[in-house]
């Protein structure tokens, strides 16, 4: 038995990009994150302490986006997954980070990290 939580479609406003011009103004990234919890039993107590509060994950991601500026989506993804693993009892994280309208003939570019 496995237990997961997920947050999909998080809008993160941050400065990111390889070139200084791209980092000069904030962009909106779209983040999907799936988290496998270490807890493998049923949720029979209806207690928030048995899981992870979604709002705490969203807050952590937004805080990282505000405080840190990266060149690579990969580096941002590593920071997010590392902080979540340090703060919460998780087994595995799958994170997908999208940037819109970066290439002229492509809707999105991005990365998927599984940690």
CATH code at position 16: 3.30.1130.10
| b (16+ CB within 10 A) / e for 32-57 | bbebbbebeeeeeeeeeeebbeeeeb
For 72-106, write each residue's pLDDT tens digit: 999 999 999 999 999 999 999 999 999 998 889 99
Split into its structural domains, the chain has a count of 1
For 11-61, write each residue's pLDDT tens digit: 999 999 999 998 999 999 999 999 999 988 888 889 998 899 999 999 999
Range of the domain at 56: 4-114
| Model confidence, pTM | 0.93
Give me 1's structure tokens: 């038995």
**How far apart are alpha carbons 17 and 22 in whole angstroms?**
5
């Amino acid at each position: 038995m496995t237990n997961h939580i997920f947050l999909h479609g998080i809008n993160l406003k941050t400065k990111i990009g390889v070139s200084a011009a791209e980092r000069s103004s904030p962009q909106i990234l779209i983040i999907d994150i799936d988290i496998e919890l270490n807890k493998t039993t049923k949720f029979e107590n209806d207690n928030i302490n048995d899981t992870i509060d979604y709002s705490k994950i969203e807050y952590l991601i937004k805080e990282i986006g505000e405080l840190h500026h990266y060149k690579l989506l990969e580096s941002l993804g590593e920071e997010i997954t590392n902080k979540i693993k340090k703060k919460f009892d998780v087994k595995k994280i799958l994170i997908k980070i999208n940037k819109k309208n970066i290439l002229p003939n492509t809707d999105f570019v991005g990365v998927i990290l599984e940690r």
